[in-house]
Structure 1
Amino acid sequence: MYPPNASPVLALYDVTKVHGHGDAAVRALDGVSLALPAGGFTAVMGPSGSGKSTLLHCAAGLDRPTSGSVVVDGHALESLDETALTRLRRERMGFVFQSFNLVPTLTVAQNVTLPLEFAGRRSSPAVVRTLLERLGLANRADRMPAELSGGQQQRVAIARAMLARPAVLFADEPTGALDTQAAREVLDLLREAVRESGQTVVMVTHDPVAASYADSVIFFADGRIDGSLPRPDAATVAARMARLASAVPAAQAGGVR
């Protein structure tokens, strides 16, 4: 469950996102409002074309909504220019994607500290070492990404996202490229980050098992929130997703994510 009386660290107010113009316009988000507290793990799910990835991109400032307001850690994103928005993403947001996005010519430790270096900030070697130990990477600090398994590479990506202790960690299908065991390890790490460090995680996933690691699941359909499920289990999530998928017209499949 979410912490009681927690203030929102991420809030969307009547957010819309329209792709295209005229008859070809697609409304990917249709007046979405939600507030997520600090220290929670939220999964976002929906059929293909439901708008779940568009929601994440707008919430993280990777895309600008057509209308409405997004507030992250007290900052209204629409009021920021691109320079300020980039700075906020570096300092107060973390990102983990299906592709690991590691620099192949840098070591594990160098990949982890790279975003801080871009931001002109120094990282304590002791802090980096402690974080790598916590994620089971202490003996891999000097290895190159090509020497690691997929699960280990994703753990490096999580360490990189967590190093600056962001207000929100956004994860877009973080287990999509992993086998079952590696996926469990990654999800355990994300859940531990919430439980032990008070981290806030927002994860887009298509996998009911992955969603069951979250405190709550938000379901999307046709660009709108279609309910939520606290304390989810995989079977209940799968059943809810099956109902949503059956309601999606065949012509809509493959549309906006």
Structure 2
Amino acid sequence: MTRTAYSRGVHAHAPAPYALELLDVVKRHGHGDAAVTALDRVTMRIPRATFTAVMGPSGSGKSTLLHCAAGLDRPTSGSVVLDGRDLKGMDETALTRLRRERMGFVFQSFNLVPTLTVAQNVTLPLEFAGRRADQRQVRALLTRLGLGHRIDHRPAELSGGQQQRVAIARALLSQPAVLFADEPTGALDTQAARDVLDILREAVTLSGQTIVMVTHDPVAASYADTVVFFADGRIVDSMARPHAGAVAARMAQLSAPAAADARPVPQDGGVR
């Protein structure tokens, strides 16, 4: 049994304290005969203090999953529940507030403001939310991430790995219910990528953070507790305690023509 339960079409109430639930989520683009189903009745439940990697071939639905889970896009049907709050029915103002207060985001492109210092970039989301940052907490977090000596520097004075660590600090400062990471190591060299993945792993192990990461890299996925594999908008497999070699082999199968025959996870949620 894996730490994260996955299935399709299951609506039963889950007693475990999940940080994120997608319940029978469908996402279609377009209408009529031209409609494309990006997510096909996806149900996944992610417990708190776990690290989940989402992988799949291009066009498999993994980015759409991330956008729907984070409230950046609305499902055609089904429900997304984050930290016990159902996103269905929330207007844009409520969603924006929820994203500011209960979600963290780390992207491949860093998204730092070039005119602001490291400390100012890290505290910017809190300022937008009308909250005052504890400067001692900011300095302690940056020091833990190896950036204590860079606190007054601007992004152009940092390496790519350092900029990504600033982005992680910004995401972690508000202690979000879920940190969403979209290809966070895609623009980094090998050593910088390992440093970033070590930080994400420690955020789960030491701080009880919940992380959902979309990645194409089997090595990055090996840092997770569980890898969920997507194909054609469906969950087709999952792997607990992943090893990079096994992840790469499964991805090769999904990317081959035979992947069209991939079967979704059984409706009882079991992963065998």
Is TM-score (shorter-chain normalized) higher than 0.5? yes
Q: Aligned-pair distance for 1:83?
A: 0.4
Query: Which amino acid is the alignment partner of residue 237 of structure 1?
Result: V
Write the mapping of 1:32-47 to structure 2, written as runs, cut at 5 A: 32-47=42-57
Query: Which amino acid is the alignment partner of residue 229 of structure 1?
Result: M
Query: Which amino acid is the alignment partner of residue 75 of structure 1?
Result: R
Q: Which runs of 5+ in 2 are unaligned?
A: 5-14, 261-272
Indicate if the aligned counterparts of 2:121 and 2:170 stay in contact, CA closer than 8 A.
yes
Whole-Å Cα distance in 1 between the matches of residues 3 and 153 of structure 2? 37
What secondary structure, in the 3-state scheme, does the structure 2 residue paired with 1:186 have? helix
Indicate if the aligned counterparts of 2:3 and 2:240 stay in contact, CA closer than 8 A.
no
What secondary structure, in the 3-state scheme, does the structure 2 residue paired with 1:197 have? coil
Whole-Å Cα distance in 2 between the matches of residues 34 and 144 of structure 1? 39
Name 1:82's counterpart in structure 2: 92
Q: Find 2:243's aligned residue among 233, 246, 249.
A: 233
Using the size of structure 1 for normalisation, the TM-score is 0.94
Name 1:252's counterpart in structure 2: none
Q: Aligned-pair distance for 1:248?
A: 5.0
Name 1:61's counterpart in structure 2: 71
List per-residue Cα deviations over 1:31-62 (Å, max 9, x = no partner).
00010000000000000010001000000001
Q: Find 1:97's aligned residue among 98, 103, 107.
A: 107
Whole-Å Cα distance in 1 between the matches of residues 84 and 90 of structure 2? 12
Q: Aligned-pair distance for 1:28?
A: 0.2
Name 2:162's counterpart in structure 1: 152
Using the size of structure 2 for normalisation, the TM-score is 0.89
- Tell me, yes or no, if structure 1 residue 128 matches structure 2 residue 138: yes
Indicate if the aligned counterparts of 1:47 and 1:248 stay in contact, CA closer than 8 A.
no
Write the mapping of 1:187-226 to structure 2, written as runs, cut at 5 A: 187-226=197-236
Query: Which amino acid is the alignment partner of residue 170 of structure 2?
Result: R
Query: Which amino acid is the alignment partner of residue 81 of structure 1?
Result: D
Q: Aligned-pair distance for 1:82?
A: 0.6
Indicate if the aligned counterparts of 1:46 and 1:220 stay in contact, CA closer than 8 A.
yes
Q: Aligned-pair distance for 1:23?
A: 2.0
What secondary structure, in the 3-state scheme, does the structure 2 residue paired with 1:162 have? helix
Indicate if the aligned counterparts of 1:42 and 1:202 stay in contact, CA closer than 8 A.
yes
Q: Aligned-pair distance for 1:79?
A: 2.3
Query: How many residue pairs end up in the alignment?
Result: 248
List per-residue Cα deviations over 1:125-163 (Å, max 9, x = no partner).
100010001100000000000000000000000000000
Q: Find 2:125's aligned residue among 115, 122, 139.
A: 115
Q: Aligned-pair distance for 1:6?
A: 5.0
Q: Aligned-pair distance for 1:20?
A: 1.2
Name 2:182's counterpart in structure 1: 172
Q: Detail structure 1 runs of 4+ shifted over 4 Å in the superposition.
A: none
* Farther-moved stretch of structure 1 (173-182 vs 21-30): 21-30
Q: Aligned-pair distance for 1:21?
A: 1.5
Identity of aligned residues (%): 76
Query: Which amino acid is the alignment partner of residue 177 of structure 1?
Result: A
Q: Find 2:83's aligned residue among 73, 81, 84.
A: 73
Whole-Å Cα distance in 1 between the matches of residues 237 and 207 of structure 2? 28
Name 1:255's counterpart in structure 2: none
Q: Which runs of 5+ in 1 are unaligned?
A: 250-257
Name 1:253's counterpart in structure 2: none
Whole-Å Cα distance in 2 between the matches of residues 156 and 113 of structure 1? 10
Whole-Å Cα distance in 2 between the matches of residues 171 and 130 of structure 1? 22
What secondary structure, in the 3-state scheme, does the structure 1 residue paired with 2:174 have? coil
What RMSD in Å do the two structures reach over aligned CA positions? 1.2
Indicate if the aligned counterparts of 1:6 and 1:38 stay in contact, CA closer than 8 A.
no
